[in-house]
Structure 1
Amino acid sequence: MDNQISKLRVDIPIAVEGKYDKIKLCSIINGNILTTDGFGIFSDSNKTALIRRIAEPRGIIVLTDSDGAGLVIRNYFKSILPKDKLIHLYTPEIAGKERRKRAPSKAGFLGVEGMEAEMLRKLFEPFAVNSDNSYNIFTNKQQVTKADFFADGLSGGEGSVERRNRLAAALGLPSGLSANALLAAVNMLCGRDEYLRIVNNDC
């Protein structure tokens, strides 16, 4: 099934944790995909310098597993790159384990390599280059704002964490995202109209 899916052209560089994550993405994406080698990047000054350099033109997409280790790696990227150079994508929290592993991860969720190719394709479609060399992500759609989040009880008030988790679940995102991280993800995935529909129905 995976081999039958046409590949997306993504010109923004992509960072994932390990070689099996890279192999998975290479089945659906034509682009520059590099690995952090897990926590290995923390002590690899050459790779850190490379990431800073390749992120200069368009930024870099960071896709890690939806667990504690993935969060640590995301925070490392935040420490080495400006906010406007980081694009964080998230996989949903799906219980299970990859075929090559004897036991599931500590969190019990599938990692990037265990995700269905079609799901990953949909995740990256907004960043694919169209035939006219335009990007889907830059289409004119109204953005959700911090003020919207506050007005809808998703930040700064009692129960906001629970509401954010419900919104995240409706969008296929992991739980526990900060208000800023979830806001950025919402604007990449759906825009204001779809956000309002979900909030009014599910949150």
Structure 2
Amino acid sequence: MVEGKNDTVAVLKAVEADTLETRGSAVGSDVIAAVKRAQERRGVIIFTDPDGAGERIRRIISQEVPGCRQAFLPRNEARGDKGLGVEHATPEAIQSALSDARTEDGTEVPSISWETYLKAGLVGGKGASKMRERLAEMLGIGYANGKQFYKRLHLLRITREEFEEALSRVEEEREETRG
């Protein structure tokens, strides 16, 4: 599931796949019906741009069609002259994102407490946004604001071990750049 024709072209340069296009952020009932059919018959990977419109599309489809897999491109790998988008990514970045796709089953399993999340400095503090962005890249789950990122950690079943390992690597990188 991609947003448009240019995304389809980019995906087909990277992998052999069938794509469905939303044709914009106004996801209509015809698109939802097509995604439901595809999900029932063979499964769907939602692969939208790492921007506000892409996140909106991802939320709508996830709510309407449970069990879809989620693939995310880091923002730095989706940057082009005209903004952020799947169409700007290299075939290698697309292959990596698709191979790291995770299933969202719609239930949150809180393996990471809100207190742990706050102590990690991922909301409200200086550098929280940059930390979430780097953590999202390491975990392959896409950037989001503080509350949405916390929710995504649970919906995509990121384990406490995965979280702590990635967080440790982020903190090591920060120390290296300071020292």
- Normalising by structure 2, report the TM-score: 0.69
Q: Once superposed, what is the RMSD of the aligned Cα atoms?
A: 3.2
**1:75-114 residue pairs with structure 2 within 5 A?**
75-82=59-66, 85-94=67-76, 96-98=79-81, 104-105=82-83, 110-114=84-88
Indicate how the Cα distance of structure 1 residues 159 and 54 shifts in structure 2: closer, same or farther if over 3 A, else same: same
Residues 74-130 of structure 1: CA deviation (Å, up to 9, x unaligned): 122133212xx12222111128424xxxxx33xxxx310101111111112246xxx
- Asked if the contact 2:2/2:20 (under 8 Å) is kept, the reply is yes
Q: Percent identity?
A: 27
Q: Which stretches in structure 2 are left out of the alignment for 5+ residues?
A: 104-108, 172-179
**Residue 178 (structure 1) aligns with:** 149
1:62 is displaced (CA, Å) by: 0.6
- d(CA) in 1 for partners of 2:144 and 2:60? 20
- Normalising by structure 1, report the TM-score: 0.62
Instruction: State the one-letter code of the partner of 1:28.
Output: A
**Residue 134 (structure 1) aligns with:** none
- d(CA) in 1 for partners of 2:98 and 2:42? 15
Q: Does residue 150 in structure 1 map to residue 113 in structure 2?
A: yes
**Residue 27 (structure 2) aligns with:** 41
Indicate how the Cα distance of structure 1 residues 30 and 201 shifts in structure 2: closer, same or farther if over 3 A, else same: closer
Indicate how the Cα distance of structure 1 residues 89 and 183 shifts in structure 2: closer, same or farther if over 3 A, else same: farther
**Residue 125 (structure 1) aligns with:** 99
Q: Which has the higher helix share?
A: 2
Q: Does residue 30 in structure 1 map to residue 16 in structure 2?
A: yes
- Asked if the contact 1:168/1:182 (under 8 Å) is kept, the reply is no
Q: Which stretches in structure 1 are left out of the alignment for 5+ residues?
A: 1-14, 99-103, 128-136, 139-144
- d(CA) in 1 for partners of 2:136 and 2:51? 15
Count of residue pairs the alignment pairs up:
156
Indicate how the Cα distance of structure 1 residues 150 and 39 shifts in structure 2: closer, same or farther if over 3 A, else same: same
